[in-house]
Structure formats: C-alpha cells, structure tokens
Amino acid sequence: MKMQYGLIGWPLGHSFSRDFFTKKFCNEGIDAEYLNFEIPEASRLFQIIQEHPLLKGVNVTLPHKQAVIPLLDELSQEAAAIGAVNVIRITRSPNGEPYLKGFNSDVIGFTDSIRPLLKPHHQKALVLGTGGASKAICHGLEKLGVEWTYVSRNSAPNRLTYSQLTPSIMQTYTVIVNCSPVGMFPKVDHCPAIPYEYLTPNHLLYDIVYNPTITLFMKHGAEHGSTVKNGIEMLERQAIASWEFWNS
C-alpha cells in the first residue's frame, strides 16, 4: 500500500508541496502519495492521523506553524529555538500509537536561497510580518550574521511600524524580507507599505511569496535597481529537507 505524506493548513488553495512531491514520487519511482488536508484548527491533526494509518509525515503551513507545537511529542533543537514547526514526522509504536516530532525546514530553505545574494554591505535586515514564517527567517538571518528588526502594522516593543521607516532606516537596513502574505495571489496588486522611493541598488528584497513569481514588492524594488528574489527556491529546498526529516 502507498505510503502517505501531506500538508495541513487553512485555507490551502494551490499547493506547491503537493505538486513538488507528486512529481518527485513519479520521477523516482516512490510508491507514495501526497495529500492536502484543509483544517481550520491544528487540533484536527489527530483526527487526520487516526483516519490515515499510512501517513508518515506532514508539512505545516499557515496558520498552524505555532499552534501545532503543543500537540507534538518532541521538537528538534532548531524548531524549538525558532518557535515554529513546518514539518512533522509521524512514527508509530507496534500497537499503532503515533509519536510526533516537529522540525523546521523553512530556515534551511531560506538560508540556502539567500546566501549567494548577500554582499558585505548587507549587515541589517527588515523583516516584514511577525508570523510563524518570520520566526524561521529571523533565525536564518542570525545564522548568516545579519541583524534583523521586525516591521509590523502594529506598534510593539523592539519593533518598527511601517510609518517609522525613515530615509535613514532604509539606508541602514539594506535587506528587506517580506514574510507577510501581502501581494500573494489573488491580491497581486497589493504590496507591503514600505517607502519604496528610498530603495537603491544596494538593497536586496526577498519575498517568500511565490505566487505570483514576480510580486509588486519585487517590481518596485527592481525599478530602483535593487536585487530581488521570490520564494520558489526556498520552497524547493525546504521540501527536500522535509523529505530528509521524514525519512531520517
């Protein structure tokens, strides 16, 4: 019988992960299938595991990357440090009792993807958004030796709001990573409210959004000569890491 893997989130819509793994299984002759599980609450994970006894692992996407943590039996060191999980490995005891271990492959995908673009002047980064994905991005930036500051619509300690992004700040923070869903399909005519007029060729704009492939955030950056990149390679690399976590 086919082994099963899947994705939990709400809503899901088009799934990069399902396409990626379906092609992988076909190309490599792996007898497995990848399923999408749209669940409004993370606690529904237990029901999915019970109904799918061949399920060996799942990816986790919005809005469950933090909510799944209390449901797990174990966390990898990196997932615990980040405070967000996007991969769960499911093993079962001889009596069928599941054991769930959480990992984070987002940080692997992000660091591998952005590292070749970093220049010596890329010392500080603005991280747009404060959700589960941003936690992995910040952890990755730290591993790369880049200081980071959150930017959010709401004021909070040790955080900037979009209205506080002065010319001086924009000049200092030459890496900008969009970890928010702003600009994602179908709302492709939206973009994070940063002051794009202060961008320069020294800036690097990285958008973890992958649909559309060129977001309005990226277009505005390119218009000012900034280096821009979307999240496709990050997704591919985190998917490869997910497979390794499931089968290690």
In 32-113 the beta strands, taken as DSSP E runs, fall at 32-38, 55-60, 74-75, 87-92, 98-103
Q: Do residues 161 and 151 touch, judged by C-beta distance below 8 A? A: yes
SS3 46: helix
∠ CA 112-169-203, rounded to 5°:
40
Residue pointed to by tokens 């060129």: 214
Active site residues: 65
Phi and psi at 241, nearest 5°, equal: -65, -35
**Residue 107 C-beta-side C-alpha neighbours within 13 Å:** 22
